[in-house]
Amino acid sequence: MINIDKIITAKNNNSTLIIINKKSINNLNSSFVDDKQIEYIRKSVEENDIKSFSFNLVSHYVFVEIVEENSIEYKTKEVYRRLGGKMLKECDRCFVKDLQITSIDVNKENILAFIEGMMINSYTFDSYKTDPKRLIHPFDNLHVVHKDIDIKDIEQLRIIIEATEKCKDLVNEPVTVINAETLAANFVSMGQEANIKVDVWHKEKIEKEKMGGLLAVNRGSVDPPTFTIMDYCPKDAVNKRPIVLVGKGLVYDTGGLNLKPDDFMNDMKEDMAGAATMACSIYACARLNLPIHIIGLFPSTDNRPCGNAYASGDIINMYDGTNVEVINTDAEGRMILADALAFAKQYNPKLVIEASTLTGAASRAIGPFGIAAIEQDAEDFMQIVKMCGREVYERIAEFPFWDEYNDIIVSDIADIKNCGEKYAGMITAGKFLAYFTSYPFIHLDIAGVAMNEKETDYRGKGATAYGLRLVVECMRKLSKN
């Protein structure tokens, strides 16, 4: 991770980035660039709308970035995040290891967004590369010159980025490393580090509690399931009733007996991204000392077509007594989540937010640009989640949740079935989950955003931790209300 500190004044002999609000281009008068360079910059901006400049001064570089801010605040922050990701690549290209940034007419929030983009883009997952020269980012140190930014701002940002990196590591690891038990062990370690109470149920306890959905999906696996409960309850919590975060911990999904076709299994190590995202969100909230009581529930197993694997046509008796007809064994995530959602009732929660890589339908509907979501009895909370999504640019696309969709999961021989028709797949999956709730409920389908197939502005390939910053921002907002 990049080392970041605040300095009072920039040094002349260090590589420097000057960020300028385009409206203030005429105020450029810096000791880091001479009069000819300033004139060149102004002329290039005016005549050719060039916004990026790089001056190689042999001993160091001077970079100048002209930013045209958007009239919408959250979009401007995203411009700065993308600039941060871009500057990391530029520093790597020029082998700049140490950079100081100064600015002209750029506010604190936008500079912090720039730093955030740079830090997010600095993540690498290369522990399995054996080449000793595998270093991807030579960049090490960032020094911030801004009168309104203090060390606390930087530390809070660092905590959130550290949480996202933990999440990415968990999702990027193969199932040979992260099975249900080792995933739970990682949650225990996070709890010890951040003073969060963590309780892990193993197979015997899960059987005793009759979590039929989780046990059914686990039947084809040689590894036992786990059910992890995280409880962050600070003494100054503002909420008498907890917020419950639920995450899908499917460490690998073959589809079961309804085996996934073609190459759809390639990224199925990501199927526990919901649990990783929510657990690491709680970890971040605890380290930020947010005064809010949060409980995390994380059912975990893999889904294999082995041994006595559950099969289409089976009737599964769930934790709350509901009988579910299995239509498709690849609709396994909702089976394990249903037990967790039913279990959550005992907490009388103020709100339950659940995240999962649940349906390809969500990804096909909106692509890799945001989270597909539904709410039940949580309209006001959904508005807060949407607002927070815009703030951190992990945006929410809310789908309709009309009563007519309930008919699609009605079973002829059981209470409900685990898969509906060939349409509205994201919504009907949400309907299945909502069947097991009796409280304000929000479902976040992160299937389209949990992994990147290609590098973007400040998110590299592989796991993204998309949704974590959204949840932390949401908890921050709720802790103030």
81 catalytically annotated: no
- The alpha carbon dihedral of 241, 353, 114, 144 has a sign of positive
Nearest to 468 by CA among 83, 206, 190: 190
Q: Quote the DSSP letter at residue 236.
A: T
Q: How buried is 72 (Cβ within 10 angstroms: 0-12 exposed, 13-18 middle, 19+ buried)?
A: exposed
Q: Render pLDDT for 380-390 as a digit per residue (tens, 0 to 9).
A: 999 999 999 99
Does the pLDDT at position 165 exceed 90? Answer: yes
Q: In angstroms, rounded to a whole number, what is the distance separating the alpha carbons of residues 53 and 69?
A: 18
The pLDDT assigned to 338 comes to: 98
- The alpha carbon dihedral of 434, 436, 437, 442 has a sign of negative
Does the pLDDT at position 231 exceed 80? Answer: yes
pLDDT-derived band at 421, boundaries 50, 70, 90 = confident
205 catalytically annotated: no
The pLDDT assigned to 234 comes to: 97
- Which of the pair, 132 or 184, is modelled with greater confidence? 184
Q: Quote the DSSP letter at residue 213.
A: H
The pLDDT assigned to 445 comes to: 98
Domains parsed from the chain with CATH numbers: 3-148 (3.40.220.10), 158-479 (3.40.630.10)
Q: How high is the mean pLDDT of the chain?
A: 95
Give residues with Cβ within 8 angstroms of 135, minimum separation 6.
none
The pLDDT assigned to 134 comes to: 63
Give residues with Cβ within 8 angstroms of 364, minimum separation 6.
none
Judged by DSSP in three states, 341 sits in helix
Q: Are 108 and 149 in contact (CB under 8 A)?
A: yes
CB-CB neighbours of 149 under 10 Å: 18
Place of tokens 């054996």: 130
Provide the angle, in degrees to the nearest 10, between the axes of the packed helices 379-392 and 468-479.
Answer: 120
Q: Mean of the pLDDT values across residues 92-118?
A: 95
Q: How buried is 337 (Cβ within 10 angstroms: 0-12 exposed, 13-18 middle, 19+ buried)?
A: buried
The pLDDT assigned to 185 comes to: 98
Give residues with Cβ within 8 angstroms of 210, minimum separation 6.
317, 319
Does the pLDDT at position 136 exceed 80? Answer: no
> Which range is least confidently modeled, 135-139, 340-344, 404-408?
135-139
The pLDDT assigned to 29 comes to: 81
The pLDDT assigned to 1 comes to: 85
Which token pair is 246?
Answer: 């639920």
**Partner residues linked to 398 by β-bridges:** 373
Nearest to 1 by CA among 114, 178, 109, 120: 120
**Partner residues linked to 185 by β-bridges:** none
The pLDDT assigned to 326 comes to: 98
pLDDT-derived band at 135, boundaries 50, 70, 90 = low
Judged by DSSP in three states, 55 sits in strand
Helix or strand holding residue 469 (H, E): helix 468-479
Judged by DSSP in three states, 400 sits in coil
Helices (H) and strands (E) in the chain, counts: 13, 20
CB-CB neighbours of 206 under 10 Å: 22
Q: How buried is 398 (Cβ within 10 angstroms: 0-12 exposed, 13-18 middle, 19+ buried)?
A: middle
The pLDDT assigned to 30 comes to: 78
Q: Are 103 and 93 in contact (CB under 8 A)?
A: no
Backbone angles phi, psi at 332, to 5 degrees: -90, -30
pLDDT-derived band at 446, boundaries 50, 70, 90 = very high
> Which range is least confidently modeled, 33-47, 209-223, 291-305, 369-383?
33-47
Q: Render pLDDT for 269-300 as a digit per residue (tens, 0 to 9).
A: 999 999 999 999 999 999 999 999 999 999 99
Q: In angstroms, rounded to a whole number, what is the distance separating the alpha carbons of residues 170 and 310?
A: 27
- Which of the pair, 13 or 19, is modelled with greater confidence? 19
Q: Are 87 and 53 in contact (CB under 8 A)?
A: no
Among 248, 334, 459, 476, the one annotated catalytic = 334
Question: DSSP letters along 118-147, please?
Answer: HHHHT----TT---TT-------EEEE--T
Judged by DSSP in three states, 296 sits in strand
Among 108, 260, 345, 477, the one annotated catalytic = 260
